[in-house]
């Protein structure tokens, strides 16, 4: 018999397992007195001391601003270019080889390029984040748009729905599940690129803080920074999931029904 586990069991697994791992680390690290793996309470003390104060504004906010700006640019360009390419087979044939070439480059290869061309200020970091986030959003949007059922398009054509209304009420909603999938991949890429760009040439930011701590062998501060990144990523993911559940309710419900 395949009984569905109760909500309580699921919730305790979701919260319990991470807590158990944290406890395991605390027990393991406490007696070691290891430079690289400091005791849990030391890391947590640093975490609170370092990040719940002025550094929130001097480091977290700049990081979030770079990431957010780059991500937003990628979203706007990726979705609009993706819709255009998804609708026109010819443009797609002409542009996709170039897209595939750039996509094949490891994201960090672009770092020297943006540094040389744009320097070391924020615009270089934002550009780098945008360039890397662009590809998953673009490619998923193309796939989403071009896979909209032809019957839906013909229906719109028969009823004389204008191009504008087809775009707003058929193409975009139809491609939205794919766009969300791309945006989600791009979200984790944005965090990665934000950190990498702050490692190399920055005067503030979470990545900069981690890098500086490493250079001065302040290992617990480094761990505290990593913890900030982890929490940030986790939080953003939760936010994203909540948004997706709202916006794509029809999609998830329809899929569940067909299974």
Given the rule CB under 8 A, which residues bind other proteins? 149, 151-152, 154-155, 157-162, 165, 169-170, 173-174, 176, 250-251, 253-254, 257-258
CB 185 within 8 A of CB 62: no
* Residue 176: CB minimum distance to other proteins, A: 8
Nearest to 133 by CA among 206, 60, 204, 191: 191
Which alpha helices (DSSP H) does 88-218 contain, by range?
Answer: 89-104, 110-118, 122-146, 150-158, 163-166, 172-200, 206-215
Task: Rank residues 165 and 203 by Cβ distance to other proteins and give the closer one.
Answer: 165
* Residue 243: CB minimum distance to other proteins, A: 16
Task: Rank residues 33 and 256 by Cβ distance to other proteins and give the closer one.
Answer: 256
Q: Is 259 exposed, middle or buried (0-12, 13-18, 19+ CB in 10 A)?
A: exposed
- Rounded CA-CA distance 27/12 in Å is 21
Quick one: CA dihedral 190, 195, 197, 202, positive or negative?
positive
Cα 153 from chain centre: 32
* Residue 254: CB minimum distance to other proteins, A: 4
- Rounded CA-CA distance 181/153 in Å is 23
Give the three-class secondary structure for 40.
Answer: helix
* Residue 238: CB minimum distance to other proteins, A: 24
Task: Rank residues 44 and 181 by Cβ distance to other proteins and give the closer one.
Answer: 181
Task: Rank residues 98 and 158 by Cβ distance to other proteins and give the closer one.
Answer: 158
* Residue 80: CB minimum distance to other proteins, A: 20
- Rounded CA-CA distance 32/25 in Å is 11
* Residue 88: CB minimum distance to other proteins, A: 19
Task: Rank residues 176 and 189 by Cβ distance to other proteins and give the closer one.
Answer: 176
Task: Rank residues 2 and 151 by Cβ distance to other proteins and give the closer one.
Answer: 151
């Amino acid at each position: 018999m395949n009984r569905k586990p109760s909500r309580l069991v699921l919730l305790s697994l979701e919260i319990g397992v991470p807590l158990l791992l944290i406890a395991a680390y605390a027990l393991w690290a406490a007696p070691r007195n290891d430079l690289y793996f400091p005791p849990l309470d030391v890391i947590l003390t640093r975490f609170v001391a370092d990040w719940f104060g002025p550094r929130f504004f001097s480091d977290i906010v700049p990081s979030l601003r770079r990431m957010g700006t780059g991500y937003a640019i990628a979203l706007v360009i990726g979705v609009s270019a993706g819709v255009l390419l998804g609708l026109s087979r010819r443009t797609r044939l002409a542009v996709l080889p170039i897209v595939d070439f750039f996509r094949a480059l490891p994201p960090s290869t672009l770092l020297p390029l943006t540094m040389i061309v744009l320097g070391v200020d924020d615009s270089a970091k934002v550009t780098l984040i945008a360039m890397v986030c662009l590809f998953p959003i673009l490619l998923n949007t193309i796939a989403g748009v071009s896979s909209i059922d032809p019957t839906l398009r013909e229906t719109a054509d028969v009823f004389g729905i204008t191009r504008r209304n087809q775009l707003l009420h058929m193409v975009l909603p139809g491609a939205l599940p794919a766009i969300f999938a791309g945006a989600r991949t791009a979200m984790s890429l944005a965090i990665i690129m934000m950190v990498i760009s702050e490692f190399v040439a920055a005067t503030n930011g979470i990545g900069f803080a981690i890098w500086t701590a490493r250079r001065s062998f302040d290992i617990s501060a480094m761990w505290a920074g990593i913890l900030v990144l982890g929490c940030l990523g986790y939080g953003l993911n939760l936010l994203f999931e909540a948004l997706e559940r709202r916006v794509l309710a029809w999609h998830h419900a329809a899929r569940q029904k067909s299974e």
